[in-house]
Amino acid sequence: MRRAKSPSKLDEHKTHQDSRLHRFANRVTGENEKVDERAIVGKQLYLDVLGMSQGEQNQNATLDNLLQDAAKARDELQLLSQMHNDAQSRLENIGPALERQPDDMTDFSWIDMTLRQLEAEIPPAKQVLSDAHQSLFSSDAMADMAVRDTLSQNDDAFEQAEEELSEADKPGTSREEAVRPRNQPGDVSDQLPCGHEAREPRVSRKDEKRAIVLGKQRA
């Protein structure tokens, strides 16, 4: 038969258990707070990636920054997952530890209330993790679309620049056309209604020569 502990020993043990469980509760609560902080950071990164992929005006909306933020969002998700697992593991391990304590050692009613509060904080953390996980897939898809759009726009701009350079390199295109008098005989503008010339785009050199030849044939 086990001998009962003296009141002084019982108080000492109760104080020790209270202190130990308080420290544990603070650690779990701290982990949940860190999860919340990480979730805020991850959500902001996701919004930045989403905003840039949708073409919002942003001084950091460059292709490199877009890919960097997508990588940061992925890292934040991994940190969220690890921190959530740690908090969940600590919460699950405290139950068996309490069950091993003798009933006559201390009153654990306040501990039960604390544990219930901690358990209530886990589902929101799970929801944050789920939202961050879903946001990561969305941001990856948006980042991929943004990269494709950016590359496509760069290709279009490059082709347009090549066409402009090719047109400017043709002999007699830039300087001779700039100094040639307007409305020369046979000019295609003579064949257009009054005031129409200002609204029409400038014809190419090839079409201009064809119009001159047709004008001479009609004359």
Most confident of 79-83, 97-101, 180-184, 188-192: 79-83
Of the chain, the percentage scoring pLDDT greater than 90 comes to 0
Most confident of 73-77, 94-98, 168-172, 212-216: 73-77
The residue with greater pLDDT, 66 or 82, is 82
**pLDDT above 60: residue 181:** no
5-33 pLDDT, tens digit each: 566 666 666 666 666 666 665 665 555 56
pLDDT band at 194 (very low <50, low <70, confident <90, very high): very low
**pLDDT above 50: residue 217:** yes
**How far are the Cα atoms of 44, 101, 123 from residue 37, in angstroms, in the given order?**
11, 35, 16
Q: Give the CATH number of domain 7-168.
A: 1.20.58
**29, 38, 106, 22: which is closest to 72 by C-alpha?**
38
Which value, in Å, is the radius of gyration of the alpha carbons in the chain? 38
The residue with greater pLDDT, 159 or 57, is 159
Length of the chain: 219
Please report the pLDDT score of residue 33 as a whole number.
Answer: 60
Q: Which residue has the tokens 């940061």?
A: 72
Model pTM score: 0.26
44-58 pLDDT, tens digit each: 665 665 555 555 455
Alpha helices in 100-199 (DSSP H): 109-168, 175-179
Domain boundaries, the chain: 7-168, 175-218
115-145 pLDDT, tens digit each: 666 666 666 666 666 666 666 656 566 666 6
The residue with greater pLDDT, 102 or 204, is 204
